[in-house]
Amino acid sequence: MAIAPLPDRELLDALTAPRPPLRLLSNPGESRRAADPGAHFASALPAGRPQPGWSAARRARLRRTGLFVLVIGLLGALAVPVSALAGTGATTTATLTQGSTYVVQPGDTLWSIATRLDPTGDPRSIVGQLASETGSDTVVVGEHILLP
């Protein structure tokens, strides 16, 4: 069972009472033209300057655009140092010569050393010789290898 309140007549009459229309009044001594709301601002500003009071939508759009430019600028500024850190690594591109000693660099494998030693040939035979030289199929950074 629900109980509904009875409407209060005085409250309903106060809410639905008609309001008088609003009128714009001018100060005594001013002309009728001065009662125009924009006339005061237009006469107070020098020619060529924008009218004050941009709309809320325009202010929000400018704020959003400024924030977007700021974020893109920060991302661009952060991308430069990160790309410099990424780099290509410490790979040596010098050709290796047979009979020399090679110091293993980070990322080197027997296969990569063999292909750099003889780029046009089949690296499988050189990998076998390097594996017998080192005694293992893997290499350790800083290890010195005598190239066949």
Q: What is the pTM of this model?
A: 0.38
Spatial CB neighbours of 126, under 8 Å, sequence gap ≥ 6: 113, 114, 117, 118, 148
Environment class of 110 (CB within 10 Å of its CB; exposed 0-12, middle 13-18, buried 19+): buried
Tokens of 122: 């089949």
Spatial CB neighbours of 67, under 8 Å, sequence gap ≥ 6: none
pLDDT in tens, 113-146: 888 888 888 888 888 888 888 888 888 888 888 8
Asked if residues 99 and 133 have their Cβ atoms less than 8 Å apart, the reply is: no
pLDDT for position 95 = 64
pLDDT for position 66 = 93
> How far, in Å, CA of 95 to CA of 134, rounded?
20
Looking at 2.40.50, 3.10.350, 3.40.50, 1.10.860, the CATH number of the domain 101-146 comes to 3.10.350
> How far, in Å, CA of 94 to CA of 105, rounded?
13
Where along the chain do its domains lie? 56-87, 101-146
pLDDT in tens, 32-60: 554 455 555 555 555 555 556 778 888 88
Tokens of 52: 């004050």
pLDDT in tens, 22-34: 787 777 666 555 4
pLDDT in tens, 65-120: 999 999 999 988 887 776 666 655 555 555 677 778 888 888 888 888 888 888 88
